[in-house]
A = this chain, B = another copy of it.
Amino acid sequence: MRIGELAKQVNCSVETIRYYEKTGLIPAGDRDPNNNYRRYSQAHLTQLTFVRHCRALAMSHEEILELIKARQQTNQNCGSIDQLIEDHLEHVSSKIRELQMLEQQLIALRQQCQQSGSNDKCGIIKDLDSPLDNTELLELNQSHIKGSH
């Protein structure tokens, strides 16, 4: 199977597959000697499926690499896999809590407008002019799950 076909099967772009190869998320595999095109087997499809599934769960490449490594050490204790999922779940949960606080602040901000009419009287702008209060200082942390835009 060629790269375009593989991309279709796992629902991603061919560029993404080439990128995964470059960064070691999937093995390089061999080439058609005639044209130097990449050739993929069932094994590639399996690993790429695994990777895409992990990405759909918002895991980072680093986390996925750890899982792949664990997966290959078949007879080791799976406690580390368990722990990784547990930690990742905690990342996601804390991100949710963070965004929910943001959401509340934005709802409060929205009510400040008061239909003033003109920009200089708009309560939203006035509100944004004031410094951050303590409750807002729990800043957006640099977590690896992507943002809202």
* Interface residues, chain A, with chain B CB atoms under 8 Å away: 10-11, 46, 49-50, 52-58, 60, 67, 70-71, 73-78, 81-82, 85-86, 88-89, 91-96, 99-100, 102-103, 105-107, 109-110, 113, 116-122, 124-125, 128-132, 136-137, 139-140, 142-149
Contact = CB atoms under 8 A, between A and B. Distances in A.
A52 B93 CA distance: 25
A58 B146 contact: no
Contact of A82 (B10, B74, B110): B110
Given A85-B106, A143-B146, 14 more contacts: A11-B132, A49-B131, A49-B132, A53-B136, A56-B136, A58-B102, A71-B125, A75-B118, A78-B113, A82-B110, A92-B148, A94-B148, A140-B145, A140-B146
Contacts of A102: 57-58, 92
A148 B58 contact: yes
| Copies of the polypeptide in the assembly | 2
Nearest to A91: B148
Contacts of A132: 11, 49, 52-53, 56
A139 B85 CA distance: 19
Given A50-B128, A146-B146, A116 B67 contact: no
Given A57-B105, A71-B119, A92 B99 contact: yes
